[in-house]
């Protein structure tokens, strides 16, 4: 039997390795499109897609679930946006918690957990960020997607060198062209990202949403953090809400700058009748001073480099060896949402998220996983 030359055997082995690597990487890439399950709780009365309000989104990665929690008692309405930036997980998890736990007693709650669904299908380049993180519930572990600040370039490409905000003419860096929170109020003949924001704006207009709250996070060294940024029409409500929060919860209220365009707290307040607000919590996995980004940092918020930075006065929020956990950040969001509902007194009535909504202290004590559904 003729002996096979070594170079042919080597080439065959290398080819097999390359094929296996391509298959593996292809599966990893495809898995980023898999969405984690959300389990609607007893308060959810309907689930629609954003394309219900703007049909052009149907069949695209811009289409996303809108969960409706109707108390059955006539009153005001609130829209909560999570996942505007999927690398800011407290906004997303807080939205999921509302879907799975909240039972409104008055008015109607709308929740969009993945406002930029496309951005959940990728991560920011050169960040080496995890694609998933994990939360313990009362009966097992659940996984959640960690995504990007911007729309997946597969859905919108190329980026322009300069992004011109259509409604105002304001010029921004081209890197902002795929940022959902620079694309409001959106337009039908705009970019993919602008079409998503148009759909959200259309929902607000059609459903006559009383107030809209966009849940975000910022780095611990950022100046606007642990804060509510409110349109001038909503500043009064935000300030009244501060009276409702617990004494050890420090929150500032800032008025939306009129010369910064494309953001929810500016454009939704200008172009619709909703009271538009945005909340920021401190996220150590998001800043520039942290070490390695992994799933543990996302959940615990513990980072030795941020601790050192805090000791040198380089952060703007209290940071100790306990870190700033995802539980604490979600507790801030939930507490403020409850307070806004309790203090709202508009012509369209009242809104109550229900007697069973936990306090800030209860969320801290029990952990955010306690208020999420057990994995099936």
Domain CATH for 329: 3.40.630.10
Q: What is the structure's pLDDT at 1?
A: 60
The pair of three-digit structure tokens given for residue 177, joined into one six-digit string: 């062209």
Number of domains in the chain: 1
Give the whole-angstrom CA distance, residue 143 versus residue 328.
19
Q: What is the pTM of this model?
A: 0.94
Q: Is the residue at 26 inside a domain?
A: no
Q: What is the structure's pLDDT at 30?
A: 65
Q: Is the residue at 6 inside a domain?
A: no
Cβ–Cβ < 8 Å for 357, 117: no
**What is the domain extent for residue 46?**
32-371
Q: Is the residue at 344 inside a domain?
A: yes
Q: Is the residue at 334 inside a domain?
A: yes
Low-confidence ranges of the chain (pLDDT < 50): none
Q: Is the residue at 191 inside a domain?
A: yes
Cβ–Cβ < 8 Å for 218, 225: yes
Q: Is the residue at 281 inside a domain?
A: yes
Cβ–Cβ < 8 Å for 186, 262: no
Q: Which helix (H) or strand (E) holds 218?
A: strand 211-218
Which residues neighbour 375 within 8 Å (Cβ) at sequence distance 6 or greater? Answer: 37, 137, 139, 140, 141, 142
Q: Is the residue at 58 inside a domain?
A: yes
Q: pLDDT tens digits, residue range 107-160?
A: 999 999 999 999 999 999 888 899 999 999 988 999 999 999 999 999 999 999
Q: What is the structure's pLDDT at 272?
A: 98
Give the whole-angstrom CA distance, residue 209 versus residue 213.
11
Q: What is the structure's pLDDT at 47?
A: 98
Q: What is the structure's pLDDT at 376?
A: 72
Give the whole-angstrom CA distance, residue 76 versus residue 323.
37
Which of 282, 190, 271 lies closest to 231 in space, CA to CA? 271
Q: Is the residue at 9 inside a domain?
A: no
């Amino acid at each position: 039997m003729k002996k096979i030359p070594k170079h042919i055997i080597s080439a065959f082995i290398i080819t097999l390795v390359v094929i296996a690597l391509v298959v593996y990487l292809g599966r990893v890439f495809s898995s980023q499109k898999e969405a984690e399950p959300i389990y609607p709780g007893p308060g959810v009365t309907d689930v629609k897609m954003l394309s219900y309000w703007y049909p052009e989104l149907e069949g695209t990665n811009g289409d996303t679930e809108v969960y409706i929690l109707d108390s059955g008692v006539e009153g005001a309405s609130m829209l909560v946006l999570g996942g505007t930036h999927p690398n800011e997980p407290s906004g997303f998890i807080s939205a999921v918690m509302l879907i799975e736990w909240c039972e409104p007693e008055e008015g109607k709650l709308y929740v969009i957990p993945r406002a930029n669904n496309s951005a959940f299908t990728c991560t920011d380049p050169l960040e080496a960020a995890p694609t998933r993180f994990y939360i313990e519930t009362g009966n097992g572990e659940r996984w959640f997607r960690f995504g990007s600040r911007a729309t997946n370039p597969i859905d919108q490409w190329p980026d322009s060198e300069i992004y011109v905000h259509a409604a105002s003419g304001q010029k921004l860096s081209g890197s902002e062209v795929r940022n959902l929170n620079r694309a409001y109020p959106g337009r039908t003949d705009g970019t993919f990202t602008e079409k998503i924001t148009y759909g959200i704006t259309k929902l607000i207009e059609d459903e006559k949403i009383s107030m809209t709250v966009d849940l975000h996070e910022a780095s611990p060294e950022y100046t606007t953090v642990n804060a509510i940024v409110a349109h001038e029409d909503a500043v009064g409500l935000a300030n009244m809400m501060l009276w409702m929060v617990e004494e050890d919860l420090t929150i500032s209220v800032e008025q939306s700058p009129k010369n910064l365009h494309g953001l929810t707290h500016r454009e939704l307040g200008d172009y619709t009748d909703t009271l538009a607000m945005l909340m920021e919590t401190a996220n150590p996995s998001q800043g520039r001073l942290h070490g390695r980004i992994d799933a543990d940092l996302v959940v615990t918020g513990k980072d030795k480099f941020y601790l050192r930075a805090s000791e040198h006065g380089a952060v703007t929020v209290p940071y100790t060896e306990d870190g700033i956990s995802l539980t604490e950040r979600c507790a801030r969001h939930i507490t403020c949402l409850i307070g806004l509902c309790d203090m709202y007194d508009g012509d369209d009535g009242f809104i109550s998220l229900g007697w069973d909504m936990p306090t800030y202290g209860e969320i801290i004590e029990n952990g955010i996983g306690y208020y999420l559904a057990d994995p099936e």
